[in-house]
Amino acid sequence: MSQLDVRFAPVILAGGSGTRFWPRSRRARAKQVLALDGDETMIQQTLTRLLPVAQVEDVWVVTNHWLAGTIAEQMPTLKPDHLLSEPVARNTAPACALTAFMLEKTEPETVIGVFPSDHVVKSIQRFAKVLTAGIKVAAAGENIVVLGVPPTRPETGYGYIEQGSEAPEFTEVPVHRVKRFREKPDRHTAERFLAAGNFAWNGGIFLWQAKTLTNAIREHVPDMAAILEKIAAAHGTDSFENVFAEQYPQCENISIDYAVLERRSAKGETRSGIYCLPADFGWNDLGSWASLHEHLGSHEDDNVLDGPTNGLVTIESEGNYVYAPGKMVALLGVDGLVVVETDDALLITTRERSQDVSKIVRQVHEGLKRDDLI
Amino acid sequence: MSQLDVRFAPVILAGGSGTRFWPRSRRARAKQVLALDGDETMIQQTLTRLLPVAQVEDVWVVTNHWLAGTIAEQMPTLKPDHLLSEPVARNTAPACALTAFMLEKTEPETVIGVFPSDHVVKSIQRFAKVLTAGIKVAAAGENIVVLGVPPTRPETGYGYIEQGSEAPEFTEVPVHRVKRFREKPDRHTAERFLAAGNFAWNGGIFLWQAKTLTNAIREHVPDMAAILEKIAAAHGTDSFENVFAEQYPQCENISIDYAVLERRSAKGETRSGIYCLPADFGWNDLGSWASLHEHLGSHEDDNVLDGPTNGLVTIESEGNYVYAPGKMVALLGVDGLVVVETDDALLITTRERSQDVSKIVRQVHEGLKRDDLI
């Protein structure tokens, strides 16, 4: 039990495919298990920032078979049967809901928090404060809590949360009712959202009681509920792996946003019971080499030489990101590039194009059939 | 003796400082001793293309102490006392003239040919034909022969040879009297030279009898003549190394073009006795990563992946040169870049800026004091 009166079970989603930070990340070395930012890997950082609020025995991880072994090594305090390795990827709805069905069996009022494992947070203190407040909102009824990241630019790569009226019954941090979830907008719409002032980025962090989520799944995706109930029933028994492998692939491939949040929000601001709290703790999703460049911050001429280095020489070069461990790096007359070198690969692109690195990975896989390199 | 009636002694100049192809080239690994283009190193290629015309025992090499050991290994057939290692660099005038003073002692009518060791030639057959014709012109009197590269663009990086009237007494290849040597021009002047039709690039290949050159040195730079006579007198004796080390640094630091050719050409087209033969054998001086890119020729989208590779993936990328031995290289949305990776360094620049790589080397040397990397 945490310092709260309610049991809180964080579910860390770690199902990455390791394409965004290729060639550093691979299927078996996705960014969650890399130390892109500091000494701890991203999933270790995710756990560290949860522990002021959660007990480690209440933590769950949902991952895939490429990463399960590495995560088990990196999180030695995780309960072994709390590490769930999906037989196939089925998007976030079943990944979020599976633990809800497991917990519902014994403690249906446990508040579950869903946390991506590949985001960074600047203020752990503020994170804990917002999280604690959110757990209380989730525990206060059949509420759904989402954390909304205060937007700083008209980003087209995230979904948005349109906030409605303030909920004065919650006072620790500002809480708003959610009016609507909006899919990734075009540039013009994103600018309008930013100007409106009541939109936040959907960073994929949700809180709800186990029974709130299971009931929502039963209501909106009943087939999935039936499947997940079978898997949950087998958890803790010898047949679990078999049932999981057999049943899980039958789940619909659907995001939690689309399966539950958007449908529930359609009931209207006051009846949906969805609340938004501000994720104002220095959030960055490190979604590309460009966002890592931004996160690693100000260096001379905005050139970032990442990793263990052996010196940097620059002449008339600005805004480059280079990862080339152990090498002297020389930049001459180049701007805005991303160059990443590993033992077996060298990626050369620009910050602007770095979000398309997955296209390279696809070509290595499909065109060159070089699965040794992905 | 060659198949000609005259003795022909090629002098290969190999005094590079290894900055243009940094980080592949280094002081002790200048481009002359690298296989930038094929299996043989550039100095080995230089020897190979001379051997149809010259005997190996007549070949000389003038180099520096950084490269002497490597060159001795790469040219096992070279006579050991024909490998001259300058105690300090003093530009091309003393480097060209030293062997002339040595040969003058016994065979003053030997035709000496000066050959840079870092150029490439497409047609060895045509090279041999032009060279043979040039040797005959040089042997026909106190003539000086220069090979002029037919210009293909208004290049501002080379000196130019302004050709005068044709010399009908030589018939094997077209021979012109030289009107004037022109220093590296500005862009506008270079365009005028190209349009005029009678200008050629000065590729640094010269032919003359030993006594022609020694007499020219005596006439134009008498102090240097006195120094080189002392060194030549000691050649073959135990004191040679000492005399060389003591005397050579006292030579004026001056190019052969400036010391002899320009001054002699001032005597006028008919009195100077300087002749130009066409270096129309596919010459390239490989002066930068950009010219190596050009020399290595047409690949898909003009992307050149040099060296032993491990696959290439490109998306919307054109005109890049990459050397990253053993690595899978991925290019995404980048054009005209030069990226060169070695065990200890990574250079990132553009083809356009690659002529300035020596500025990087200077900064590594002077700014970072990292002489282990130059």
Residue B114 gets the label, from left (phi > 0), alpha (psi -120 to 50) or beta, of: beta
CB neighbour burial string for A94-113, b if at least 16 within 10 angstroms, e if fewer: bbbbbbbbbbbeeeeebbbb
Q: What pLDDT is stored for residue B9 in this prediction? A: 98
Mutation for B interface: A341, A344, A348, A364, most B CBs within 10 A: A348
Residue B175 to residue A300: CA distance in whole angstroms: 57
State the angle between helix axes of A42-50 and A124-139 in degrees (0 to 180), rounded to the nearest 10: 60
Rounded to a whole number of angstroms, the distance from the CA of B157 to the nearest CA of chain A is 19
Q: Where in chain B is the domain with CATH 3.90.550.10?
A: 8-284
Q: Do A360 and B330 touch (CB under 8 A)?
A: yes
Asked if A337 reaches chain B (Cβ–Cβ under 8 Å), the answer is yes
Residue B182 to residue B162: CA distance in whole angstroms: 7
Mutation for B interface: A328, A342, A357, most B CBs within 10 A: A328
Q: What pLDDT is stored for residue B156 in this prediction? A: 87
B83 has pLDDT over 70: yes
- What is the rounded end-to-end Cα distance, in angstroms, of chain B? 41
Q: What pLDDT is stored for residue A2 in this prediction? A: 43
Q: Model confidence over B144-178: pLDDT tens digits?
A: 999 999 998 898 889 999 999 999 888 889 999 99
In which residue are the tokens 């032993």 written? B308
Q: What pLDDT is stored for residue B334 in this prediction? A: 98
A52-56, A152-156, B248-252, B296-300: which range is least confident on average?
Answer: B296-300
Q: How far is CA A74 from the centre of its chain?
A: 18
Asked if A322 reaches chain B (Cβ–Cβ under 8 Å), the answer is yes
Which residues in chain B have their CB less than 8 angstroms from residue A353's CB? Answer: 316, 332-334
In which residue are the tokens 């509420």 written? A143
Structure tokens at A47: 């756990």
Which of B191, B116, B190, B157 is CA-nearest to residue B288?
B157
Q: Which residues contact A152 (CB under 8 A, 6 or more apart)?
A: none
Which residues in chain B have their CB less than 8 angstroms from residue A322's CB? Answer: 346, 348
Q: Which residue of B has its CA nearest to A317?
A: B349
Q: Do B348 and A332 touch (CB under 8 A)?
A: yes
Which of B121, B114, B6, B111 is CA-nearest to residue B61?
B114
Which of A60, A49, A211, A45 is CA-nearest to residue A131?
A49
Which residues in chain A have their CB less than 8 angstroms from residue B354's CB? Answer: 332
Strand pairing category for A274-278 and A144-149: parallel
Q: What pLDDT is stored for residue B3 in this prediction? A: 53
Identify whether the C-beta of residue B373 lies closer than 8 Å to the C-beta of residue B345: yes
- Residues B88-102: what's their mean pLDDT? 96
Q: Which residue of A has its CA nearest to B359?
A: A315
Q: Do A334 and B350 touch (CB under 8 A)?
A: yes
Q: What pLDDT is stored for residue B299 in this prediction? A: 80
Rounded to a whole number of angstroms, the distance from the CA of A288 to the nearest CA of chain B is 14
Q: Model confidence over B197-239: pLDDT tens digits?
A: 999 999 999 999 999 999 999 999 999 999 999 999 999 999 9
Which residues in chain B have their CB less than 8 angstroms from residue A370's CB? Answer: 311, 328
Give residue B355's pLDDT band: very low, low, confident or very high (50, 70, 90): confident
Q: Do B346 and A348 touch (CB under 8 A)?
A: no
Q: Which residue of B has its CA nearest to A362?
A: B313
Cβ pairs A/B, distance under 8 A: 148
Residue A233 to residue A41: CA distance in whole angstroms: 33
Asked if A1 reaches chain B (Cβ–Cβ under 8 Å), the answer is no
Q: Do A315 and B363 touch (CB under 8 A)?
A: yes
Q: What pLDDT is stored for residue B58 in this prediction? A: 98
- Residues B170-195: what's their mean pLDDT? 94
Residue A305 to residue A111: CA distance in whole angstroms: 42
Q: Which residue of A has its CA nearest to B344?
A: A327
Apex A196 CA angle, A192 and A201, nearest 5: 80
> Mean pLDDT for chain B?
94
Percent of chain B with pLDDT over 70: 99
What is the topology classification, in CATH, of domain B8-284?
Spore Coat Polysaccharide Biosynthesis Protein SpsA; Chain A (3.90.550)
Q: Which residue of A has its CA nearest to B321?
A: A348
Mutation for B interface: A25, A305, A342, A346, most B CBs within 10 A: A346
Rounded to a whole number of angstroms, the distance from the CA of B151 to the nearest CA of chain A is 28
Q: Do B348 and A363 touch (CB under 8 A)?
A: no
Which residues in chain A have their CB less than 8 angstroms from residue B334's CB? Answer: 337, 348-350, 353
Identify whether the C-beta of residue A349 lies closer than 8 Å to the C-beta of residue A290: no
Residue A299 to residue A133: CA distance in whole angstroms: 36
Rounded to a whole number of angstroms, the distance from the CA of A23 to the nearest CA of chain B is 9
Q: Which residues contact A34 (CB under 8 A, 6 or more apart)?
A: A21, A24, A25, A41, A42
Identify whether the C-beta of residue A128 lies closer than 8 Å to the C-beta of residue A291: no
B344 has pLDDT over 60: yes
Q: Do A326 and B332 touch (CB under 8 A)?
A: no
Q: Do A350 and B334 touch (CB under 8 A)?
A: yes
Divide the 374 residues of chain A into consecutive groups of 10 and give the mean pLDDT of each group: 76 89 91 89 96 97 94 96 95 96 96 95 96 96 96 90 93 93 94 96 96 97 98 96 96 95 90 95 90 85 92 96 96 98 96 93 92 90
Give residue B37's pLDDT band: very low, low, confident or very high (50, 70, 90): confident
Kindly write down the DSSP assignment for every residue of B73-92, as one continuous string.
Answer: HH-TTS-GGGEEEESS---H
Which residues in chain A have their CB less than 8 angstroms from residue B352's CB? Answer: 333
Please give the model's pTM, rounded to 2 decimal places.
0.84
Residue A161 to residue A337: CA distance in whole angstroms: 33
Which residues in chain B have their CB less than 8 angstroms from residue A329's CB? Answer: 345-346, 348
Residue A141 gets the label, from left (phi > 0), alpha (psi -120 to 50) or beta, of: left
Mutation for A interface: B22, B300, B316, B327, most A CBs within 10 A: B327
B310 has pLDDT over 80: yes
A176-185, A241-250, B27-36, B57-66: which range is least confident on average?
Answer: B27-36
Q: What pLDDT is stored for residue A62 in this prediction? A: 97
Which of B197, B225, B184, B196 is CA-nearest to residue B93?
B225
Give residue B1's pLDDT band: very low, low, confident or very high (50, 70, 90): very low
Rounded to a whole number of angstroms, the distance from the CA of B325 to the nearest CA of chain A is 9
B71 has pLDDT over 90: yes
